[in-house]
Amino acid sequence: MGESLILSMLKRSMEEKCMVSVFTDRSQPDSCSVGFIHSLSSKQFAMKHVTPDGYNDGYILRRIEDIFRVDIAGEYERRLELIYTLQKQPYKDLMNAGVAFESDLFRACLVRAQDENLVVTICIDENDSQLNMVGFVKEMGSHEVTITRITSNGLDDGESTFYIEDIVKINCDTAEEKTCKLLFDHRKTLERK
């Protein structure tokens, strides 16, 4: 059996370096993530996420199995890609780019987030009934990860340990995570005074 059409489109968008819209939330079928596919495996993809205004917005990682639609080269993608290009924003690579079908992109992202002290938002609940975990990667095991959680106001919020295989999606260094880190760092600075 050959490669799925969705996987082929993601590969093509990555090779051609063109913007893509990826739809993964069936409960919100009009909602999508837009950006450039940065890394691709047989189970996950990493996207350089772009806001609707054409600004860099960190990285998002999703499972391939959750994708139900991919749009490439539509008017929306072309317009947003032009706006993004005109702004000439640098994008810091989160991990090695490319296709590595046996890679675990979730693990690679968590390792890099730990190394760079980046805030991540992690969802392990397919039904979105649990709150997402936001915080810093404290420790990586062979199968588990521990997150030092922080609130949206930058306050310590305990720790969570869970299996990496249970992760549904990750956001790393997007505007929301950067805001949490800014508030967290500010509070830590005040505590030291």
* pLDDT one-digit tens code per residue, 67-101: 999 999 999 999 999 999 999 987 777 776 655 66
What's the pLDDT band for 114 if we cut at 50, 70, 90?
very high
Do 33 and 99 lie in one domain? The reply is yes
Q: How many domains does the chain have?
A: 2
Which of residues 76, 103, 130 is at a domain's end?
103
Strand partners, 47: 37, 60
| Of the residues 103, 119, 149, the one at which a domain ends | 103
* Same domain flag for 74 and 3: yes
Residues 84 and 72 in one domain: yes
CATH of the domain at 90: 2.30.30.100
Are 97 and 139 in the same domain?
no
> In terms of domains, do 92 and 109 share one?
no
Residue with tokens 């998002």: 60
Residues 96 and 125 in one domain: no
> 97 and 6 in one domain?
yes
Domain boundary among 48, 76, 103: 103
**Same domain for 62 and 108?**
no
Residues 47, 2 share a domain: yes
- The backbone region for 135, taken as left when phi is positive above 0, alpha when psi lies in -120 to 50, beta otherwise, is left
DSSP state of 143: S
Q: Averaged over 36-62, what is the pLDDT?
A: 94
Residue 174 is part of which domain span?
Answer: 104-193
Question: Looking at residue 177, what is its pLDDT?
Answer: 95
pLDDT at 100: 66
Residue 142 has pLDDT above 70, yes or no: yes
Same domain, 114 and 92: no
Are 97 and 14 found together in one domain? Answer: yes
Q: Counting beta carbons within 10 angstroms of the beta carbon of residue 105, is it exposed (0 to 12), middle (13 to 18) or buried (19 or more)?
A: buried
Same domain, 165 and 183: yes
Alpha carbons 131 and 124: distance in angstroms, whole number: 9
